[in-house]
Amino acid sequence: MTLVITEVSNAFGCVVVGDTAVTIDGAKIVLGAEKIHYSAEANIGFSIWGNACLSKRRTDRLLASFVAQLTRTASPRSAGVELAAFLNSECRRDGRSWEALRGGVHVCGYEGSVPVLFHVHTGPDPPATQGPFKLYEDFPDGREGAHLRNGYYKMFGFLFEGMQQYAAGLQHLGFKWPWEKIEDRVSFYTIMLNTVAETLVAAERLESVGGFVSAFAFNRNGLQVDKRLPGGDIDFCHSTGTMTSIL
């Protein structure tokens, strides 16, 4: 399991935050997944969730190779369409069922001057039929603010509502939650991601969200906050066995 969060707004730009844990066979946790990616050339952000391996290769590295070839002419919409085709090609090469290949990628950036948040994925939550990857234009106008969360999204959803109330309540104690800068928004989501991870540990559940938090944020002028962590060299994708690890 995982937790990746992507937000867009006029006020803060595009904020992308993710954990770095990988669950193998539902019982083992390793760190080093590179779940968030940024194209400086195209000024587009990506965050990945779902199956960690396609065709015995790390999905995060496949995404990195896709992002690296984007040019200045790419937009979130065109990149999303191309990414869906790229992932579907890899899935055909992989050969497993769509249920085994379930996953998605948040795509954020600007269409003209408007912040947008799209989602390339294999379909709604099971038992809905999965596959193939398709671009869904969830938020074609994110000027007023919108976000996507995948992985432990139900736990995060409860926390998000509570944090909104907590931040508002601080004003009665003479504190002001830092809302004004793009860095503040990165901190806000990092705190929540870490809270979910620590809650799983305290509840003696498999800490399948966690590791170090990786994050970045950008606006129309390019990258503004860069707290990305490099991906580890661990081979999540066993060459001699089934690939059941999940990002």
Q: For residue 83, which of 102, 97, 63, 103 has the smallest C-alpha distance?
A: 63
- The reported pLDDT for the residue numbered 25 is 65
As a whole number of angstroms, the distance between CA 28 and CA 51 comes to: 15
pLDDT of 193-212, one tens digit each?
A: 888 777 776 665 554 455 68
- Using alpha carbons, list the distances in angstroms from residue 80 to 18, 102, 134, 215: 19, 17, 8, 21
Residue environment code for 26-48, b if the CB has 16+ CB neighbours within 10 A, otherwise e: eeebbebbbbbbbbeebbbbbbb
Confidence of residue 241 (pLDDT cuts 50, 70, 90): very low
Average pLDDT in the chain:
86
CATH number for the region 3-227 comes to: 3.60.20.10
Instruction: Determine if residue 44 is left, alpha or beta; phi over 0 gives left, psi from -120 to 50 gives alpha, anything else beta.
Output: beta
Residue 108 · residue 75 · CB < 8 Å: no
Residue 238 confidence (pLDDT) above 60: yes
Query: Does the structure show a pLDDT above 50 at 243?
Result: no
40 pLDDT above the threshold of 60 = yes
Band of pLDDT at residue 233, cut at 50, 70 and 90:
confident
The pLDDT of residue 210 is 54
Matching residue, tokens 């705190």? 191
* Contact between residue 101 and residue 49 where contact means Cβ atoms under 8 Å apart: no
Residue-level pLDDT at 205: 55
Note the pLDDT of residue 212. Answer: 80
| pLDDT above 70 (res 117) | yes
Report pLDDT digits (tens) over 72-94. 999 999 999 999 999 999 999 99
Of the candidates 35, 89, 42, the one whose C-alpha atom is nearest the C-alpha of residue 64 is 35
pTM exceeds 0.85 for this model: yes
Confidence of residue 183 (pLDDT cuts 50, 70, 90): very high
- Are 228 and 208 spatial neighbours (Cβ–Cβ below 8 Å)? no
User: What pLDDT score does 56 carry?
Assistant: 86
